[in-house]
Amino acid sequence: MSKLRHALVALSLPALLWGCGPEDLSSGTATPAAPEAPLLATQEEELAASGEFTWAQGQALTPLGASAGRACFLTRVGGDFEGGGERIDITESGGSWYLGGNSSQSGIRGAARCVDATASQQYEWTQSMSYPVSMGTASGRVCFITGIAGKFHGSGEWVRAYVENGYWYLNGNSSQSGVRVRARCVASTNYTGEFGWGQGGAAKLMDPVAGRACALTYVRGKFEGGGEYVRTFQSNGYWYLGGASGQVDVSGRARCF
């Protein structure tokens, strides 16, 4: 299994280098000084993902289980994101995680999975911010998207959790309104580079399912109905990244850990 995983990581290198649009911040991008993030317990063992939980607009919050010693991440984002009222979020309340959202439009759906690992604090970026949000060191830590909101109307709208100069950052872009992203981190010593998928392309093979979890780190494009979504999913013992779109410029990225 170890040799197979190494081979798959090697296959992911093109995905790590994929993309050179405005969402890719070069090493020369001005960023604020990186504050120290709270230390997380070292996670040496592999992190197996739970079953998938789903939520659709009009439904009550979906319980994801206890929050103590567990972290949850988004595996699917889709629907008609037409304004600040559209959102999908993983929230914590009363010692439990929940998946939910809101919409004044149609087709808003989300999915999530969880792993047995202690979650960091929640980080948030909104389009009113001038700089990326620092989420702390990239050494022994992996970060992923836990919430997304706003009007996604084309290639100008994107949100991303990424590594630069040894630190994790949370950032985005918008020519519309209300775009916001949330993220958390967990300890991991063997997370992959980013895998990428764009509309019109085949689903991207990522990692074996056994002992691994794969979470969204980037969402971009025009989400105007139930036909637009990006997701990580399992099939025949492997993780894949894929999606669908009847609009333009829909794409996503993910990492496995």
> Quick one: pLDDT at residue 142?
98
Which residues contact residue 96 at a Cβ distance below 8 angstroms, ignoring those fewer than 6 apart?
A: 63, 64, 65, 66, 67
Helix spans in 189-255 (H): none
Residue 232 or residue 34, greater confidence: 232
CA–CA separation, 162 and 141 (whole Å): 12
Domain boundaries, the chain: 2-25+43-256
> Quick one: pLDDT at residue 244?
97
Looking at residue 236, the DSSP 8-state letter turns out to be T
Pairing verdict, β 96-102 and 195-198:
unpaired
Q: Check if the beta carbon of residue 241 is closer than 8 Å to that of residue 203.
A: yes
The upper half-sphere exposure of residue 162, i.e. CA atoms within 13 Å in the direction of its Cβ, equals 23
CA–CA separation, 185 and 215 (whole Å): 11
CA–CA separation, 8 and 186 (whole Å): 22
> Quick one: pLDDT at residue 37?
45
Q: How confident is the model at residue 21 (pLDDT cuts 50, 70, 90)?
A: very low
> Quick one: pLDDT at residue 61?
98
| pLDDT (average), residues 218-237 | 96
Calculate what percentage of the chain has a pLDDT beyond 70.
82
Looking at residue 44, the DSSP 8-state letter turns out to be -
Taking residue 139's Cβ as centre, other Cβ atoms within 10 Å add up to 9
Calculate what percentage of the chain has a pLDDT beyond 90.
77
Q: What is the pTM of this model?
A: 0.83
Residue that has been written with the tokens 């050179």 in this structure: 20
pLDDT, one tens digit per residue, over 120-130 is: 999 999 999 99
CA–CA separation, 64 and 97 (whole Å): 5
| Integer Rg of the chain from CA | 17
Please say if the pLDDT value at position 249 is more than 70: yes
Taking residue 55's Cβ as centre, other Cβ atoms within 10 Å add up to 23
Please say if the pLDDT value at position 60 is more than 50: yes
Please say if the pLDDT value at position 24 is more than 80: no
Q: How confident is the model at residue 226 (pLDDT cuts 50, 70, 90)?
A: confident
Residue 221 Cα to chain centre, angstroms: 15
| pLDDT (average), residues 236-254 | 97
CA–CA separation, 50 and 241 (whole Å): 17
Residue 82, H or E segment: strand 82-93
Q: Which amino acid is at 237?
A: G
| pLDDT (average), residues 216-235 | 96
> Quick one: pLDDT at residue 84?
72
> Quick one: pLDDT at residue 35?
42
| pLDDT (average), residues 142-149 | 98
> Quick one: pLDDT at residue 30?
32
Residue 69 Cα to chain centre, angstroms: 20
pLDDT, one tens digit per residue, over 165-192 is: 999 999 999 989 899 999 999 999 999 9
pLDDT, one tens digit per residue, over 156-166 is: 999 999 999 99
3-state secondary structure of 164: strand
Mean pLDDT in the chain? 86
CA–CA separation, 81 and 153 (whole Å): 8
CA–CA separation, 132 and 9 (whole Å): 27
> Quick one: pLDDT at residue 45?
55
> Quick one: pLDDT at residue 25?
34
| pLDDT (average), residues 138-145 | 98
CA–CA separation, 2 and 12 (whole Å): 15
